[in-house]
Structure 1
Amino acid sequence: MDASEFKVYIFGMLFLRRLSDQFEERREEVVRSWRERGKSKAEAEELAEDPDEYTFYVPQRARWSEIKDLKTDIGNSLNKALYALEEDNPDKLEGVLKHINYNATIGRTRLSDAKLQAFIHHFNKYRLRNEDFEFPDMLGAAYEYLIKFFADSAGKKGGEFYTPANVVRLMVLLMAPQEGMRVYDPTCGSGGMLIQSKSYVEEQGQDARNLSLFGQESNGGTWSICKMNMILHGVNDADIRNEDTIARPQHTDGGELMHFDRVLANPPFSQNYTRAGMEHPERFVYGFAPESGKKADLMFAQHMVASLNARGKMATVMPHGVLFRGGAEKEIRRGMVEDDIIEAIVGLPPALFYGTGIPACILVINRDKPPELAGKILFINADAEYGEGKAQNHLRPEDIEKTTRVYHHREEVPKYSRIVSVEEIAAQDYNLNIRRYVDNSPEPEPHDVRAHLFGGVPRSEAAAKAAVFDRYALDGTVLLRERDDTYLEFVPEVTAKEDIRKVIEADSGVVGVEAEMRRRLAAWWEERLPRLKAFSESNNLFALRQEFLASLKDALVPVGLLDAYQVAGIFVNWWVDSQYDLKAIRSTGWTSSILADDTLLGTSDGAALLARLDAAEDRLRSLEAEMAELQGEPEDEDEVPDTAELKALKHRITAQKKAVKAVEEERGALIERLRTTLPEDEVRGLILSQLYDRLAAGLERYLTQSRQELVAIYENWWDKYRVTAREIEAERDAAKERLDGYLRELGYGA
């Protein structure tokens, strides 16, 4: 059984443990309340069995106290527990749990009692009450992590229930839902769009309880995962339906489709559909795509358009083909363009989604477009800016920040974004191919024939890189010198390609501007410290984020080394990496649980212990190397290792391993002692240092990237022009002459 098949058992067990612990937490409160009102313990416990006291009533057989000690027939007992839990909460859990079968046979095997007992013991290690979490949504975050893990394991099938979180984040930021709104995902999968919409509202300091969430999902198993996801995130009233959205939309009001303020979706790519038995065909006002040929994409888009209210906005992932294919799809595009409802089209990088390499985009539709975009569409070509991965690529926080800013500020950035009139699109026969309007192809690499023949760096190529050199106030004589009116050449000190990096890294201009960036970052941090120290009192994370981001840009951009988008990248990467620390600070204050082990070991006591551990590990490696040498292949056949010496060395290695283990145990004990004994002021100082170190590391990454760009310019010139064609020909001729000489010596040739 692989991980993707095992997911339903883990989700079921996690859900069971969480609801049981929540129930027991609430039950203790109810019993305590009745005891304070004069009831006996027995009477209070009997009154505490009233289901009306609980959001979810957990019957006796589903309580963790009953489950944790199961020893036989465990699969059947777990099935009955889930069945009882669903039966006692029909309004919220109908159909969610009964399909989970811990006795199911997959292939020729099923989970044994021994494996299920070990499974239960694992979940018994950690209690899951609200008071056990560093911040309220910690369990929800863990559940999202598991969903992603199982999507990774499932490969292509992972896309059926999970959209990468960074793509969802981008879409939510584009839509910017607010409290009081109704948000809908007609192909909701495991619910990521809805959960992140809720998180966004919370980040802004608004009341997410005043946000109505609606979703529909055709796959019953995925629908169940979504329902559990909502509940584990504290969303008990989300309206999630299980049915085919194109054939039978479930969210209706008075026989008509419900209308929403925001619609977000990632519908399945390239599906077929059928009009037979379709409900609410009036949704498709722009026409019907072909039923065969896997072209249902614009049918999903039209359903979403029909689900918007008069001021509603939607963002949906679409394959690129819908932007330029002809036939019925072209007529659908024409209708949308002429009705002026398309606000933006965002081209996405390749290979973001599970199991498909189909190029994708985000189609943004707005029923109430801003006046400056009336009769126009904003095209954003973001397909070249992403982080590379082995199996799939990903959007980086800085990529999301750039796209979001360009969209909301309607900026035109060369080779990235452009506002295009409907008239121009009509002249292009309603072809919405993004590259037709925003071509981000790189400029062709220049090649100077004379430089290839005779050497030298063309002045024109050096002038084209002036903006990069100016960032560092780089003196042109550092690596290049005058050759003639048209060409430069490398200075004599640069005798090998490797010298280029050394010279640049030692240059006073490079060192100086990087030092200034570090100085400004440190000064900015000092200015922000009072706000950070009072962070636990802040309720509006979004406002704090915007304030910090704007002030960091003001501090670093004027230096001229990094642009506004790169500085934003430093900050948003830090913000994303620190988000759980910040949530914990806001929820529980400056607690030592936020501190990483390495941070705690940075104290004087920790440094001394780490030095001892390093010494012990070095000694162990030395002994193991000595053993490997003794046991290696002997140089002489008669040379036999001394068995007594080997035996003694083995004893020393065993003793040294014990010594290393003892110091490691000391390290663990020291970490726990420091967590419980450090005073609050010192804890706060260490947390702030931890946060700053993370931010400073982000700056260093960008400084390194910028410096590497500079180095790459000179290395490219070296590769192109340092060795001339004439020199290559001369080497060839010399090699030929040597070969001819050898042949003559051997008696071949004339």
Structure 2
Amino acid sequence: MVVALKKSDLYSSLWKGADELRGGMDASQYKDYVLTLLFVKYVSDKAKGDTSSLIDVPAGGSFDDLVTFKGDKEIGDKINKSIGKLAEANDLQKVIDLADFNDEEKLGKGKEMQDRLTKLIAIFQDLDFRGSRAEGDDLLGDAYEYLMRHFATESGKSKGQFYTPAEVSRVMAQLIGITPSTSKSATVYDPACGSGSLLLKVADAAPNGLTIYGQEKDNATWALARMNMILHGNEIADIRKGDTITSPQLTTNDKLDTFDFLVANPPFSVKSWSNGLENEYGRFDGYGRPPEKNGDYAFLLHMLKSLKSNGKGAVILPHGVLFRGNAEAAIRKRIIRRGYIKGIIGLPSNLFYGTGIPACILILDKENAQDRTGIFMIDASKGFAKDGPKNRLRPRDMHKIVDAFTKQLEVTGYSRTVPLSEIESEANDYNLNIPRYIDSSEPEDVQDLHAHIHGGIPNRDLDALDGFWTAFPSLRSELFRPLREGYSELLTDKSDVPQTITSAPEYLAFAEGVRNHVASWWAAHRNEMTAITHTTKPSVLISSLSEELLDGFRKRPLIDEYSVYEQLMSYWNDSMHDDVALIMNEGWDAAAKPRKTIEDKNRKLTETPDLVLGSGRSASKYKMDLIPPALIVARYFADVQTKLDELNAAAEVASQAVTEFVEENSSDDGVLVEAMDDGKITKALATARLKVAKLERTADEVAGLAKLLALYETEADAKKKAKNAAAALDAETLAKYGQLNIDDAQTLVIDDKWGASVARGVGGELVKPIQQLSVRLAVLGDRYHSTLSDIEAEVEALSADVTKHLKEMGIL
């Protein structure tokens, strides 16, 4: 059986299953076991379907061999030997065989180890990665990335440094100028590559990849990087092992090799960076030696030395490199004077797994450095979303950073080109701390004393809302009238402001224009979506959709184009990308068909069905991966659903009638009290008591019980009708799936599912500016509602009341 789960379901199932088997082991250690098995599974599958595979899977060294060890008392030792054969056949010793599957301290003894490893193998057993690299869609690579991110999150600060968040990696790739025309022969280097995730994301930005080089100090992390490269189709990537500063491995004739591109997320502020340093390789010449207790500039100077004369790089460093004094200040001054720093991006705090402190990206560019007259700075510290224990860059944050930097856009409070003359000035003295040059603080909300004393809203505050008045020219006069020179008063109650705005003809036309624009944009791209096949590149498809949507909203007032972009990208990441991958792998026709649910509790892959026919053990349970039943019902059985809704409502009314009658008649002297057991009553209890009541000839009780039983019958009949109608609708819905042709499926998915969801998301952006305006006007209305004389009069009245009460009490 091949697992047919969606990608997102597959990843979460892998993580859930693997994590539950971890026991008390630290995530930073357990990842080596899980990722090693994932590696063996992938290369085994690939060898079956690709005779040209660069990885040789020998007899006794495949994942199929591991499956035969399930339940074996010597499972740990046998796994070690099997993986050892795979390692030896491919010169991967000390790479894929570092995790000891026979370690009793980590995996338990005897039966505990046997069961744990058996279940761990079972998690991967029925996955099939042979088709995981459909054009531009990497199932295996994405699964590996998902697991890496979760292991980094679980590993804690001191042990999560092996992974750079994918969002930051993608931004860095674009900041250094990787483009579709970049040749595969271009070299990219990471001197502190960790698990290689940053290198791979940068290489992915080039259509044909790049020639990859890297070095990593930690032995286990270096092994992860080697596996990661193979899993992502970069078998020939040159990843060296060792300390980059004291023992750089990528050298020629005792000189550092140089590269076209460079990216790095080195460990922050290493105190022991110079221990064992003998050969400086000219890295500090002309700059000065970094301080002994802080290695940030040691890494930075190594990177500058490793760039070609026209090379470009991006490095993540703590903010301290921008402003610390003494030796670092001198080095910074010399780097700035040479023009090597093209840009600085200040990032949000708590973004990285190795630290919670805020960091920055330094953009290095040696090309035409001598002619550089400024440094482009971006304060992106406020653009993020909370994601569990960490912060995360959203698609909108990433795009905004890249747009600002690549287009050199100057945005107030966000980005600007800072002239070198300003940086070199006596006031700044080569200090690069971003707040010196970009003020991202909110403007002060000034209180107007004249308005507090005499009333009215200052025109100055209303003028600050000019964007709204430009978009809706008549709205200001509908909401305000002049009160006196420089002040206005609100014509309507503040609670009516939102209704006044949304009912204004100019707003209605604005909203309609937005909806029409979205509909036209979607229609213009419909052919791209109907043409999705196994050769589709998802990244190209979403880029085409998103960039045109973003550009279309750049010209529209009030609505933030990046918020609109975020609506599309969030839906893409949450759902649409899964759908596209499914269509690519199975085709429109097969992807649209229902399938039986997977129920394998041992492998944590049990699914919740979308549709169930029948009940109990004979029930047939179905999963609809691409087209949810609700879409079929809405398009083809809307009238049937309406009738079902009416039957459900009738059943609810009948149930409510029972509840109300019981509540009204269950008090101590109520007619139902004798039939109740432990304060509750059922149909069976009422029936039994009715027989007794008839014998006792208690007329009121007989009538009450009879009425209750009648209500029970009405309820049961209503529920039965609703249940039968629901079952009939489910049967019709299931049958309809078999009648769908490709055009039907495309209409349901492209129009009813994707298009409608995106339109709703973008439509939600229409509400935000109205809320913003309404809130601001409410604040201003409240602030200046009562004048000083009003307050004085109220105080006098209250004072008079107090005096009166004191006199009545005889105190005065």
TM-score, normalized by length of structure 2?
A: 0.77
Q: 1:532-547 counterparts in 2 under 5 A?
A: 532-534=529-531, 536=533
Is 1:683 matched up with 2:745?
yes
Equivalent residues of 2:101, 2:107 under 8 A apart = no
Q: CA deviation at 1:304?
A: 1.1
The code of the aligned residue for 1:194 comes to L
The code of the aligned residue for 1:680 comes to I
Cα deviation per residue 1:34-86 (whole Å; 9 max; x = unaligned)? xxxxxxxxxxxxxxxxxx97623143254325525611323333333333322
Equivalent residues of 2:314, 2:364 under 8 A apart = yes
Q: CA deviation at 1:213?
A: 1.4
Which is further off, 445-454 or 332-341? 445-454
| Residue 324 (structure 2) aligns with | 325
Q: 1:562 aligns with which of 548, 559, 563?
A: 559
Equivalent residues of 2:534, 2:584 under 8 A apart = yes
Unaligned stretches of 5+ residues in structure 2: 1-23, 593-623, 687-711
User: Given the superposition, is the C-alpha separation of residues 67 and 729 from structure 1 closer, same or farther in structure 2, using an over 3 Å criterion?
Assistant: farther
User: Given the superposition, is the C-alpha separation of residues 147 and 510 from structure 1 closer, same or farther in structure 2, using an over 3 Å criterion?
Assistant: same
| Residue 129 (structure 2) aligns with | 128
In 2, distance between residues paired with 1:586 and 1:431? 52
User: Given the superposition, is the C-alpha separation of residues 719 and 82 from structure 1 closer, same or farther in structure 2, using an over 3 Å criterion?
Assistant: farther
How many residue pairs align between the two structures?
Answer: 711
Equivalent residues of 2:651, 2:722 under 8 A apart = no
Equivalent residues of 2:384, 2:392 under 8 A apart = yes
Which is further off, 243-252 or 114-123? 114-123
Q: CA deviation at 1:199?
A: 2.2
Q: CA deviation at 1:540?
A: 7.3
Is 1:505 matched up with 2:502?
yes
Q: CA deviation at 1:646?
A: 4.3
Q: CA deviation at 1:735?
A: 4.5
Which is further off, 564-573 or 243-252? 564-573
Equivalent residues of 1:9, 1:102 under 8 A apart = no
User: Given the superposition, is the C-alpha separation of residues 53 and 290 from structure 1 closer, same or farther in structure 2, using an over 3 Å criterion?
Assistant: closer
Cα deviation per residue 1:204-248 (whole Å; 9 max; x = unaligned)? xx323xx21122222223223333322222222222223222222
Q: 2:385 aligns with which of 384, 387, 391?
A: 387
Equivalent residues of 1:16, 1:62 under 8 A apart = yes
In 2, distance between residues paired with 1:95 and 1:304? 26
The code of the aligned residue for 2:760 comes to A
TM-score, normalized by length of structure 1?
A: 0.83
The code of the aligned residue for 1:463 comes to D
Equivalent residues of 1:398, 1:568 under 8 A apart = yes
Equivalent residues of 2:651, 2:719 under 8 A apart = no
Is 1:139 matched up with 2:140?
yes
User: Given the superposition, is the C-alpha separation of residues 601 and 6 from structure 1 closer, same or farther in structure 2, using an over 3 Å criterion?
Assistant: farther
In 1, distance between residues paired with 2:646 and 2:187? 57
| Residue 7 (structure 1) aligns with | 31
Q: 1:162-561 counterparts in 2 under 5 A?
A: 162-177=163-178, 178-180=182-184, 181-201=186-206, 206-208=207-209, 211-278=210-277, 280-281=279-280, 282-285=282-285, 286-292=287-293, 295-354=294-353, 356-369=355-368, 374-389=372-387, 391-427=389-425, 428-491=428-491, 493-494=492-493, 497-534=494-531, 536=533, 548=545, 551-552=548-549, 555-561=552-558
Q: CA deviation at 1:704?
A: 2.5
Q: 1:708-719 counterparts in 2 under 5 A?
A: 708-719=771-782
The code of the aligned residue for 1:11 comes to L
Q: CA deviation at 1:374?
A: 1.8
User: Given the superposition, is the C-alpha separation of residues 592 and 107 from structure 1 closer, same or farther in structure 2, using an over 3 Å criterion?
Assistant: closer
In 2, distance between residues paired with 1:367 and 1:272? 28
User: Given the superposition, is the C-alpha separation of residues 154 and 543 from structure 1 closer, same or farther in structure 2, using an over 3 Å criterion?
Assistant: closer
- The secondary structure found in structure 2 opposite 1:344 is strand
User: Given the superposition, is the C-alpha separation of residues 625 and 235 from structure 1 closer, same or farther in structure 2, using an over 3 Å criterion?
Assistant: farther
Cα deviation per residue 1:235-284 (whole Å; 9 max; x = unaligned)? 22222223222222222233322211111111122221242422541222
Q: 1:643 aligns with which of 677, 680, 690?
A: 677
Equivalent residues of 1:376, 1:421 under 8 A apart = yes
| Residue 113 (structure 1) aligns with | 114
- The secondary structure found in structure 2 opposite 1:56 is coil
Equivalent residues of 2:263, 2:313 under 8 A apart = yes
User: Given the superposition, is the C-alpha separation of residues 54 and 438 from structure 1 closer, same or farther in structure 2, using an over 3 Å criterion?
Assistant: closer
- The secondary structure found in structure 2 opposite 1:378 is strand
| Residue 39 (structure 1) aligns with | none
In 1, distance between residues paired with 2:159 and 2:452? 51
| Residue 691 (structure 2) aligns with | none
In 1, distance between residues paired with 2:537 and 2:115? 48
Cα deviation per residue 1:646-680 (whole Å; 9 max; x = unaligned)? 45589999999999999999999999877776322
Unaligned stretches of 5+ residues in structure 1: 31-51
User: Given the superposition, is the C-alpha separation of residues 392 and 503 from structure 1 closer, same or farther in structure 2, using an over 3 Å criterion?
Assistant: farther
User: Given the superposition, is the C-alpha separation of residues 409 and 357 from structure 1 closer, same or farther in structure 2, using an over 3 Å criterion?
Assistant: same
C-alpha RMSD over aligned residues: 4.2
In 2, distance between residues paired with 1:625 and 1:8? 61
Which is further off, 396-405 or 576-585? 576-585
Q: CA deviation at 1:449?
A: 0.8
Which is further off, 389-398 or 654-663? 654-663
User: Given the superposition, is the C-alpha separation of residues 654 and 231 from structure 1 closer, same or farther in structure 2, using an over 3 Å criterion?
Assistant: farther
Cα deviation per residue 1:408-461 (whole Å; 9 max; x = unaligned)? 122222222222232322212111111212222221112111222333211121
- The secondary structure found in structure 1 opposite 2:392 is coil
- The secondary structure found in structure 2 opposite 1:289 is coil
Q: 1:693 aligns with which of 753, 756, 759?
A: 756
The code of the aligned residue for 2:147 comes to L
| Residue 37 (structure 1) aligns with | none
User: Given the superposition, is the C-alpha separation of residues 420 and 694 from structure 1 closer, same or farther in structure 2, using an over 3 Å criterion?
Assistant: same
In 1, distance between residues paired with 2:735 and 2:54? 39
User: Given the superposition, is the C-alpha separation of residues 614 and 407 from structure 1 closer, same or farther in structure 2, using an over 3 Å criterion?
Assistant: farther
In 2, distance between residues paired with 1:345 and 1:642? 75
Q: CA deviation at 1:344?
A: 0.7
Equivalent residues of 2:135, 2:535 under 8 A apart = no
In 1, distance between residues paired with 2:88 and 2:733? 46
Equivalent residues of 1:600, 1:606 under 8 A apart = no
Equivalent residues of 2:263, 2:314 under 8 A apart = yes
In 1, distance between residues paired with 2:738 and 2:744? 12
Equivalent residues of 1:185, 1:263 under 8 A apart = yes
| Residue 40 (structure 1) aligns with | none
Equivalent residues of 1:514, 1:703 under 8 A apart = yes
* Identity fraction in percent: 30
The code of the aligned residue for 2:677 comes to T
Q: CA deviation at 1:134?
A: 9.2
Equivalent residues of 2:135, 2:537 under 8 A apart = no
- The secondary structure found in structure 1 opposite 2:521 is helix
User: Given the superposition, is the C-alpha separation of residues 746 and 574 from structure 1 closer, same or farther in structure 2, using an over 3 Å criterion?
Assistant: same
Is 1:85 matched up with 2:86?
yes
| Residue 601 (structure 1) aligns with | 630
In 2, distance between residues paired with 1:55 and 1:542? 28
